[in-house]
Chain A
Amino acid sequence: MSPVHFIAVPLFAAFLIPLIGKVSKELVKIIPGIVLLYLSYLSISLFPIGVNRPIVEIIAGFNPPFGITLYYGPIAAFLTTLITLVGFVIWLYSYKFIIREPTEKYYMLFMMLITGSTGIVLTGDIFNLFVFFEITSIAAYSLTAFLRDRDGAEAAFKYLLIGSFASTFFLLAIAIIYANIHTLNLADIASKIKDIPLTTRLFILILIIIGLGIESEMFPLNGWAPDAYSQAPSPVGAVFGGIVVKAAIYSLMRIIFLMFHTADVLHFLVVMGVITLLIAEMSAMKQQQIKRMLAFSSIGQMGLVIIAFGVGTEPSVRAAMFQMFNHALIKSLLFFAAGYLVFHSGSKKISALDGLGHDKPITSFFFAFGALAIIGLPPFSGFWSKLYILLSVADAGLMVPVVLILISSIIEAVYYLRVVSRLYFYKEEATDVRRTPVSGLVAMGILTVVILIVGFYPNLILHWMTPAANDLLDKAAYIKFGLFH
């Protein structure tokens, strides 16, 4: 049992799937589930160890800073657990949802995405980070276009265009770093970053913010996001919102806290977070399509997370991670429910959802539940993370963001409740006789139960957030463990 499995097993599965596809279609569908189940088990069993003392795995036999390392600390433990668990639920949902051929490609790309995301979270090497980023991105581009329709291709191309920009800038940053201090190990860079001249360092910082900010959906770099979210199949939307963005934002924050941990940078993050949040929520207000609305909401939530990270105190980072956790669950639930609502109504339009609440009560209930949860109403888990974010932001003396966050929450409530009321109170004759498959309902049910349980016992999660937050904030420990000193 070692953290390498998180990367190796899904990668292996990804390559295996097309081969198995020749033998049995059914097996193709099941294998990702087994893989993710195994990874979930692995992540949970490794969790206590990683939280106590980071596990640093050496890949190719070279000791750091020369070799590639995996750094499995508290935050990585938390994020891998989140990714694998959400991944498993997404698989459960996809099981009956992805009925369109070629399913083996879907699952292959899905496995690659998991590989890339866990890789991003685990790696201790900046170039390795880039590679995993590219794996994730390429899988994501392809998944966006999975439905082979006109809009999917368009969305995928935009995503690709901007994504390539991101990778270019990120690679440029890596090149400049390497040119100056001849190392690629994150811990090593962190310890030597001060050797680089100031202007170069500024340049690196900007390139990294742009490069990783694109995947973190920071405004104005997030033009691709609404299209990709809304055109990809619903489970993929959940993957983006629940997994990819989380990994991206983690990597951005990891690098910033390791190398550029100054008050000005953090303020910049807060400002960008607020702008992202407000613009996204305002744009979501008048959306015609439900998944596009969810996409904007997702961007907005990321803005919230960025704000909380930007405050940079221990409680705020803790709150940010808690929010990431909640958002991953809730947004997945929303995408799941929206997927079947769109499926049943036969249109992506919000106006087509009228009266589905009577026709498809369970799916609609899940959507309504998710909507209430993401608005941050008690007793759902979203309430606590939002509360913690607000408390920590205010504690840092930033009352203006607090007010703006709450204003955006009101906007968010308005557009979500509009959809919910359409579901239940705009009556229309039901025509659709297809039923939501059990696997989809189970997936949504699991998320619902978790959201409720966490809502009542936030300590279950919060308890683990403190070491994770410290892991992110404590640069010295990272360098110490990462370099085997």
Chain B
Amino acid sequence: MNSIEYILFITFIGAGLTFIVHHALPKLRDTLAILVSALDLYFVIQAISEKSKVVLSIADFHLIWKTTPYNNLFAVLIAVLGFLTILYAHDFMSSKDRLGYFYMNFLFALGGMYGIVYSQDFISLFFFWEIMTWASFLLVIYCCKDAQPIGLKYFVFSAIGAYSLLIAIVMLYSLSGNLELTNLISNFSNFSVSNQLIVVTLLLLGFGVKSAIMPLHVWAPGAYFISPSPFTALFSGALSKMGIFGIGLVLFKFAAQSGYFSYVQIILAWIGGITALLATFYAIFQTDAKKLLAYSSIGQLGYIIIGLAIGTPLSIASALFLTILHAAFKAMLFMATGAVYFRTGTTDMNSVSGLIRKMPFSFITALFGIITVSGVPPLGGFAAKWMLYESLIQSRHYFLVIVVFAASTAAFLYLYRFIFSLFLGQEEKEWEDVKEAPLLMVIPMLILSAFVLVVGVFPGLILDPISQSMNYLGNFNFNYETSVLFNEWGNQVDMQTVVNTIGAVFLIVGLIITFKGFKKTRYVSTKDIHTSGEIPQENENLTYAVDFYKPFERAIAPILKSSIDKIYTGIANNLEQAFDYLRYVYTGNGQTYAMYVVFFLSLLILFAELIFGINL
């Protein structure tokens, strides 16, 4: 057996085993799950050097899995994130019931993702796509009754996506009689233009649903919100990246072969841009931390899609860079939120506040997370954003760059609100007894925080595998050094200098201000504040959280008026109503049914020749 076989085998068998173990030896369950994900990680790394290939014949198809640089990139992402989230889940989930179900589906989702990224043919891709989808669906509805409609919405959208994938696959099969990726890629230019266009559109639609691009995103906020936090981290960090994985593949392996590629690029890039902007605006007005992060996630995927769609080397690099980074920082943020939830039982930003001194590590994680999201140097987010802007400007997408910039500036708003509401502000009595999350939850968060810091200083570390996978996607070369980024005009940003400067100034001034009058500097509680002479009462609410961005909301009110979600709900309701009318043909009267038969008979007789032809 080679590594890929091990990975698939271990994950799926492990998934089944955890379910059984949960009922037999509940104590071993978590250990087993962690072990499975650790083994996966080991074999994923093993697979990189091994160059494994697996061929499995099932039905009439050859299912092929192979390692390519592009596959490895995503596989490592999944493996690392999977391991950390399962580690995190151990304590987070400890008080929940139905853990066998949870871990089984968690591992199924992981296994589905491995199957997708390594697949070299569309059947296995679709097969595992579906497994991943239903495993994640089962995790979305895991919590409670309220999750059911949300889960159903997620499933319906996933099904629409999956089935448009399937239509494309079926079309490809009927066009070329084969579903192996390498074959299809080389055959693709032989298809007629309209077929090419339909296939590409359908594939993009299918992958786009998973990556929640704008008109198809409505499942995401609810699903991210309601799923248990360890899974949300994986969901947003890795699972949604499967869409990105597919889009990258479709764009550069298929669409790039045809003449209308530039139109596809522009449309997709603008969809990404609008996604980023609107999702950011929606995120600003959420009152729940997880929903806020969910919208943020949609927005970030918008950037990634822009990067892929632009298709210059620098932009693809930025997209892939952001893909990895987003996995890290969104996992960090969801984990930090999860830690808050674990201790306080809520993620409502209007009720939680002032946890910074109670949960310092969660705060640091959240802080690093938001700095990375915002793209402020010196953390990793800056490198990604920088490459994106440079490539947008240099590929002459002038207005798109404005949209993107507006989106990422507006992102400061929700990011600040996120960290302010949960960790800063008044330290209220209600949360006096809150403690830091358990060690096993803190460790993954800190590991990821360290990662974003290192990547921020040395983006080259990640750009190495990225440039390899870009060479797999096409002939994309770009210039970079371990800590220096270059744009296409040759201008540079030297992260080392930047970090040194920031670090030095910060340290010097920080030390001065700390030690100047150190003994006379007092800490006072947050009740001891300037309130224009009035002394705040013990139980007086001094937290400013509700309607935090009311002025901004007033400013952009026209944009927020329309809701895509409502349109979909309307359509769904009307359809159900229509279906409801339709079943009234079954009147319940036997005679009516007999009438149908006779009516159908006479209809057929009347139009016999028309229907059955004369060459019977």
- Give A contacts to B, CB under 8 Å: 157-158, 161-162, 165, 169, 198-199, 201-203, 205-207, 209-210, 214, 220-221, 223-224, 226-227, 260, 262-265, 268, 279, 282-283, 285-287, 372, 377-379, 383-384, 387-388, 390-391, 393-395, 397, 399, 402-403, 406-407, 409-411, 413-414, 417-418, 421-422, 424-427, 456-459, 462
Residues of B near A384 (CB, < 8 A) are 59
Contact (Cβ within 8 A) B130 A202: no
Of all chain A residues, which has the CB nearest B144?
Answer: A425
Whole-angstrom CA separation of A161 from B615 in the bound complex: 34
- Verify A262–B582 contact, CB threshold 8 A: no
User: Given A206-B608, A220-B596, 4 other A-B contacts at CB below 8 A?
Assistant: A206-B604, A220-B600, A397-B174, A421-B152
Q: What B residues does A210 contact at CB under 8 A? A: 597, 600-601, 604
20 contacts between A and B (CB under 8 A): A161-B590, A161-B593, A161-B594, A162-B590, A165-B597, A198-B614, A206-B604, A220-B596, A223-B586, A224-B590, A282-B579, A282-B582, A282-B583, A377-B134, A391-B174, A394-B171, A399-B171, A414-B155, A422-B148, A458-B58
Residues of B within 8 A of A (CB): 58-60, 123, 126-128, 130-131, 134, 137, 141, 144-145, 147-148, 151-152, 155-156, 159-160, 163, 166-167, 170-171, 173-174, 576, 578-580, 582-583, 585-586, 588, 590-594, 596-601, 604-605, 608-609, 611-616
Q: In the complex, how many residue pairs between chain A and chain B have their CB atoms under 8 Å apart?
A: 175
A157 touches B590 (CB 8 A): yes
Inter-chain CA distance A374–B485, complex, in Å, is 53
A411 surroundings in chain B (CB, below 8 A)? 579
Within the complex, which residue of B156, B173, B609, B614 is in contact with A391, where a contact is CB–CB below 8 Å?
B173
Tell me what chain A mostly uses at the interface: helix, strand, loop, or mixed. helix
Q: Find the A residue at minimum CB distance from B115.
A: A378
Interfacial chain A residues near B144, Cβ < 8 Å: 425
Residues from chain A with Cβ under 8 Å of B163 in the complex: 406-407, 409-410
Smallest CB separation, A111 vs chain B (Å): 28
Cβ-defined contact, A414 with B152, below 8 A: yes
Please indicate which of the listed interface residues B576, B594, B605, B614 has the most CB atoms of chain A within 10 Å of its own CB. B594
Question: Smallest CB–CB gap between B372 and chain A, Å?
Answer: 35
Q: Which residues of B contact A169 (CB under 8 A)?
A: 601
- A-side contacts of B171, CB under 8 Å: 394, 399
Q: Which 4 A-B pairs have the closest CB atoms?
A: A223-B593, A283-B583, A264-B613, A158-B590
Q: How far is the CA of A220 from the CA of B155 in the complex (A)?
A: 31
Complex Cα distance, B612 from A263, in Å, reads 8
State the CA gap A260–B594 with chains docked (Å): 26
Residues of B within 8 A of A418 (CB): 148, 152
Question: What residues of chain B lie closer than 8 Å to A207, measured between beta carbons?
Answer: 601
CB pair A406 B166 closer than 8 Å: yes
A397 to B171, CA, bound (A): 9
Q: How far is the CA of A407 from the CA of B162 in the complex (A)?
A: 11
Taking a contact as CB atoms under 8 Å apart, the answer to whether A162 and B586 are in contact is no
Chain A residues near B128 (CB-CB < 8 A): 378
Find B59's partner among A402, A414, A459 (CB 8 Å cutoff). Answer: A459
Give A405 Cβ to nearest chain B Cβ, in Å.
9
Known contacts A165-B597, A384-B59, A462-B59: does B582 contact A279 (CB below 8 Å)? yes
Contacts of A206 in B (CB 8 A): 601, 604-605, 608, 612
Chain B's closest residue to A376 (CB) is B130
Contact B579 A264 (CB under 8 A): no
Are B608 and A202 touching (Cβ within 8 A)? yes
Partner of A209, one of B160, B170, B174, B604: B604
Report the Cα distance A402→B167, complex, angstroms. 7
- Residue contact A395 to B173, C-beta cutoff 8 Å: yes
A191 to B60, CA, bound (A): 35
Nearest Cβ in chain B — how far from A381, in angstroms? Answer: 11
A201 to B612, CA, bound (A): 11
Contact check: which of B60, B597, B616 meets A221 at CB < 8 Å?
B597
Shortest C-beta distance, B573 to chain A (Å), equals 12
A393 to B145, CA, bound (A): 39
The minimal Cβ–Cβ distance linking B319 to chain A, given in whole angstroms, is 29
Interface contact A203-B605, CB-CB below 8 Å: yes
Cβ-defined contact, B616 with A265, below 8 A: yes
B597 touches A214 (CB 8 A): yes
Whole-angstrom CA separation of A268 from B597 in the bound complex: 17
Query: Which residue of B is nearest A406, CB measured?
Result: B163
Q: In the bound complex, do residue B594 and residue A391 qualify as a contact, i.e. CB atoms below 8 Å apart?
A: no
* Residues on B with beta carbons closer than 8 Å to the beta carbon of A265: 612-613, 616
A425 to B614, CA, bound (A): 57
**Closest residue of chain A to B591, judged by CB?**
A161
The CA-CA distance from A444 to B167 in the complex, in Å, is: 33
| Contact B173–A394 (Cβ < 8 Å) | yes
Please give, as numbers and ranges, the residues of chain B lying within 8 Å of A394 by CB-CB distance. Answer: 167, 170-171, 173-174
A403-B167 contact, Cβ under 8 Å, with A394-B173, A414-B152, A459-B58: yes
Contact of A413 among B141, B155, B588, B596 (CB under 8 A): B155
- Chain A residues contacting B593 (CB-CB under 8 Å) are 158, 161-162, 223-224
Q: Could you tell me if B616 and A165 are in contact, using CB atoms closer than 8 angstroms?
A: no
Which single member of A202, A414, A427, A458 contacts B145 (CB below 8 Å)?
A427
Contacts of B582 in A (CB 8 A): 279, 282-283
Q: Which B residues lie within 8 Å of A283 (CB)?
A: 579, 582-583, 585-586
Closest B residue to A225 using CB positions: B586
Residues of A near B580 (CB, < 8 A) are: 285-286
Residue among B127, B591, B604, B609 making CB contact with A383, cutoff 8 Å: B127
Q: In whole Å, how far is A258's beta carbon from the nearest beta carbon of chain B?
A: 13
The residue from A286, A409, A427 contacting B159, defined by CB atoms under 8 A apart: A409
Q: Is the CB of B576 within 8 A of A285?
A: yes
| Chain B residues, Cβ within 8 Å of A287 | 583
- Chain B residues whose C-beta falls within 8 Å of the C-beta of A426 in the assembled complex: 145, 148
Q: What CA separation (Å) do A412 and B156 show in the bound complex?
A: 10
Interface centre among A161, A206, A287 (most CB of B within 10 A): A206
A414 to chain B: which residues have CB within 8 Å? 152, 155-156
Q: Does the CB pair B170–A402 fall under 8 Å?
A: yes
Is there contact, CB below 8 Å, between B594 and A165? Answer: yes
Q: Which residue of A lies closest to B609 (CB)?
A: A202
Q: Which residue of A has the minimal Cβ distance to B134?
A: A377
B127 touches A378 (CB 8 A): yes
Name the CB-closest residue of B to A397: B174
| Interchain CB contact under 8 A, A390 and B145 | no
- Give bound CA distance, A272 to B127, whole Å: 30
Candidate in A418, A421, A462 with the most chain B CB atoms within 10 angstroms? A421
Chain A positions within 8 Å of B123 at CB level: 387
Once the chains bind, are B590 and A201 in contact (CB under 8 Å)? no
Chain B residues, Cβ within 8 Å of A388: 59
In whole angstroms, how far apart are the Cα atoms of A425 and B147 in the complex? 9
Distance (Å) between the CB of A464 and the closest chain B CB? 13
When distances are taken between beta carbons in the complex, the residues of chain A under 8 Å from B152 are: 414, 417-418, 421
Known: A283-B586, A394-B174, A397-B174. A262 touches B613 (CB 8 A): yes
User: B586 near A226 (CB under 8 angstroms)?
Assistant: yes
State in angstroms the CA–CA spacing of A214 and B600 once bound together: 11
B residues near A221, Cβ cutoff 8 Å: 596-597, 600
With a CB–CB cut-off of 8 A, which chain A residues contact B592? 223
Knowing A286-B579, A390-B170, say if A220 contacts B612 (CB, 8 Å).
no
Among A199, A285, A393, residue most surrounded by chain B Cβ atoms (within 10 Å): A285
* Interchain CA distance A343-B583 in the complex, whole Å: 26
Output the nearest chain B residue to A199 by Cβ-Cβ distance.
Answer: B608
Q: Name the contact of B585 in the complex, choosing from A220, A263, A425, A427 (C-beta under 8 A).
A: A220
